[in-house]
Amino acid sequence: MSHTPIDYSQLFRLDGRTVVVIGAGSGIGRESAQALAAQGAHVVVADYSLEGAEATVALITERGGVAEAVELNVLDDAAVEAAAERFGTASALVFTAATNVRKRMDDYSLDEFDRVVNLNLRASFQLIRRFGARFAANGGGSIVGFASIRAQVVEPGQGVYAATKAGLVQLAKTAAAEYGAQGVRVNVVAPGVVETPLTAQIKANDEWYGAYAEKAALGRWARPDELAGAVVYLASDASSFVTGSTLFVDGGWTAIDGRFTPPAS
Q: For strands 18-22 and 184-191, give the pairing.
A: unpaired
* pLDDT value at residue 69: 98
CA 164 to chain centre: 14
**Residue 265 reports pLDDT greater than 70:** no
Residue 3 has pLDDT above 90, yes or no: no
Please report, to the nearest 10 degrees, the dihedral formed by the alpha carbons of residues 94, 92, 228, 67 taken in order.
-90
Catalytic residue among 8, 48, 161, 209: 161
Sign of CA dihedral 101, 131, 75, 167: negative
Let me know: does 144 contact 234? Beta carbons within 8 Å: yes
Q: Answer yes or no: is 110 within a domain.
A: yes
Residue 126 within any structural domain of the chain: yes
> Taking 90 as the threshold, does the pLDDT of residue 17 lie above it?
yes
Q: Does the residue 258 lie in any domain?
A: no
Whether 233 is a known active-site residue: answer: no
3-state secondary structure of 254: coil
Q: What is the pLDDT of residue 1?
A: 61
**135-162, pLDDT tens digit by residue?**
999 999 999 999 999 999 999 999 999 9
Does residue 9 sit within a domain?
no
Q: Under 8 Å CB-to-CB from 85, ≥6 apart: which residues?
A: 134
Q: Is the pLDDT of residue 47 over 70?
A: yes
Say how far apart CA 77 and CA 35 lie, in whole Å.
28
Which residue would you say has higher pLDDT here, 144 or 213?
144
What's the whole-number average pLDDT of the chain? 95
Interval 53-68 mean pLDDT: 98
Q: Average pLDDT in the 66-70 region?
A: 98
Strands laid side by side in the 42-47 sheet: 66-71, 42-47, 18-22, 92-95, 141-146, 184-191, 246-249
Q: What is the CATH number of the domain that holds 110?
A: 3.40.50.720
Structural domain boundaries enclosing 207: 15-249
What is d(CA 133, CA 172) in angstroms, rounded to the nearest whole number?
Answer: 14
Query: Quick one: pLDDT at residue 201?
Result: 77
Which DSSP category does 4 fall into? P
> Quick one: pLDDT band at residue 258, thresholds 50, 70, 90?
low
If one counts the domains in the chain, the total is: 1
The pTM assigned to this predicted structure is 0.95
Top pLDDT among 212 and 245 is at 245
* Residue 211 counted as domain residue: yes
Alpha carbon of residue 259 to chain centroid = 28
